Amino acid sequence: MGAAELGAEPGERASLVQFSSAFCQPCRATRRILAEVAAMVEGVAHIEIDAEDRLDLVRALGIEKTPTVLVLDSAGRIVRRAAGMPRKVDVIAALGAAV
């Protein structure tokens, strides 16, 4: 996946792509966790996608709940996927597979 699909420029080394919805409480905490991890690792971008605005992408990727987080490598391939609010340590470990 590239900038056209994501609606933002992907990270040089990896991207943390978060699918959220407006009334999702865990999405707020997930946003904070992913932003912190992205700030810690050079070349990693955090991209948040509103699931309601991008139903085409939600359907194409089989996203069933929010938050769902995809970890993309530098080529835009999905290397990890998780539904629900992630733990910071798990996000960091998942990034290890991407960079």
How many Å apart are CA 92 and CA 55, to the nearest integer?
Answer: 28
How many Å apart are CA 36 and CA 59, to the nearest integer?
Answer: 28
Cβ atoms of 17 and 70 closer than 8 Å: yes
Domain spans, the chain: 3-98
**pLDDT tens for each residue of 22-70:** 889 999 999 999 999 999 999 999 999 999 999 999 999 999 999 999 9
3 state SS for 41-75: CCCEEEEEEECCCCHHHHHHHCCCCCCEEEEEECC
Query: Can you give the pTM of this predicted structure?
Result: 0.94
Domain spanning 3-98 has what CATH number? 3.40.30.10
* The residue to which tokens 């040089």 are assigned: 12
How many Å apart are CA 64 and CA 92, to the nearest integer?
Answer: 23
Residue 98 has pLDDT above 90, yes or no: no
